[in-house]
Amino acid sequence: MRTLLIITLFVFSITDNAFCQTSGTIVMDEVVRVPARHEIALPDIPGYKTLKCDFHIHTVFSDGVVWPTLRVDEAWEDGLDAIAITDHIEGHPKKLPGQNHQSYEIALPVAKAKNIILIKGGEISRGMPPGHLNAIFVTDVNALNVPNYMDAIGETVRQGGFVMWNHPGWRKQQPEITRWMAEHEAIWQKGWMHGIEVFNEKEWYPEALQWAQDKNLAIIGNSDIHDAYNKRYNREQFPIRPMTLVFAKECTEESIKEAMFARRTATLFFNKLIGPKELVEPLVNQSIQVSKPFLYQDGFIYFEVENTSDIEFTLVKMGKDDSGLPEKTILPCKSTIIARVKQQADQPRTYSFKLENVLTGVEKPMELTFNIK
């Protein structure tokens, strides 16, 4: 997305003299890690940029354990384009004592200097119902700290904010089943619920995906990170953090807001991609390229399948055939595999797959077709 590359060159002059120095301060610049942004390979789709965002993040201004500027540093290094810091609006026992909501103001200069879009927000945190809702793109977080949750949501809307229902299936608040309650219906009926977390931290909620599609809510996925990011997740297995993908006209806050109200979002979490068919299909089709056959030999055709993205795709063959293709094929991130199918050179054939890790609805894996001739 962003082709930002910062190279810091350290020039050392380690000489025998330095080692022999017997007084003063000996600076060892070489031990300092050079800050670098890990770019996430995800293609844009026709007409829109694919922006990587996390809209649910905590700091010491509620029950998080880190200072707001660290959240921006993490987001930049993790290859995100935009974040919202969403501390609990009503306060929290673990919060810095005597402080108001200042995380946005503290983080903003660093966000500007790192070209990260920082969106102002907070988490309306009430018991269930209605549970927790994030208010983002607001102008005054403190004005949302009012006794009645409906007034808080109404104020969010009055400020032009976007409201998402957070972790709707959180077992602490919905112990048995994930329910859409009368209170959620009332918020939605007013047109005051715009999005829903289908993914939060380490859980995802099929019911929320169904509601997003039935009720026209933006599909959201957020880390809800409280810890330092690297302490929380297994980065060796999952180098890419969970995120909301926003398909925006431009890489600006206004454009992200427009896209979210237009429901042009999906979520990518731990190699699972979930979103509307019309957004997810072009993303996958831009990611997977099938070459022309490069060899015809002994009744087999050989061609290459390249995955240019950072999503590992699992293809499961649909139907039975005599092509010799395996039932399941893994397409690793940013790599090419060679496929061999039993096929005559002059007889075009079509091969269809279900993508096990890409959903366009509940139990609806995306389908992918290759035409080989």
Residues at the interface with Zn ion (CB under 5 A): 123, 224
Nearer to Zn ion, 90 or 123 (CB): 123
Nearer to Zn ion, 37 or 71 (CB): 71
Residue 200 tokens read as: 């939060």
Nearer to Zn ion, 85 or 305 (CB): 85
Q: Considering the complex, what minimum distance in angstroms separates the CB of residue 87 from Zn ion?
A: 8
Nearer to Zn ion, 242 or 282 (CB): 242
Q: Considering the complex, what minimum distance in angstroms separates the CB of residue 187 from Zn ion?
A: 18
Q: Considering the complex, what minimum distance in angstroms separates the CB of residue 202 from Zn ion?
A: 13
Nearer to Zn ion, 59 or 360 (CB): 59
Q: Considering the complex, what minimum distance in angstroms separates the CB of residue 134 from Zn ion?
A: 7
- The rounded distance, in Å, linking the Cα atoms of 121 and 108 is 13
Q: Considering the complex, what minimum distance in angstroms separates the CB of residue 321 from Zn ion?
A: 48
- The rounded distance, in Å, linking the Cα atoms of 244 and 254 is 16
- The rounded distance, in Å, linking the Cα atoms of 179 and 323 is 45
Q: Considering the complex, what minimum distance in angstroms separates the CB of residue 225 from Zn ion?
A: 9
First to last CA, the chain: 33
Q: Considering the complex, what minimum distance in angstroms separates the CB of residue 63 from Zn ion?
A: 8
Nearer to Zn ion, 54 or 224 (CB): 224
- The rounded distance, in Å, linking the Cα atoms of 135 and 161 is 6
Nearer to Zn ion, 78 or 224 (CB): 224
- Which of 126, 5, 43 has its CA nearest to residue 135? 126
Give me the half-sphere count of Cα atoms (radius 13 Å) on the Cβ side of residue 219: 32
Nearer to Zn ion, 121 or 365 (CB): 121
- Which of 227, 361, 266 has its CA nearest to residue 45? 266
Nearer to Zn ion, 49 or 167 (CB): 167
Q: Considering the complex, what minimum distance in angstroms separates the CB of residue 224 from Zn ion?
A: 5
Q: Considering the complex, what minimum distance in angstroms separates the CB of residue 123 from Zn ion?
A: 5
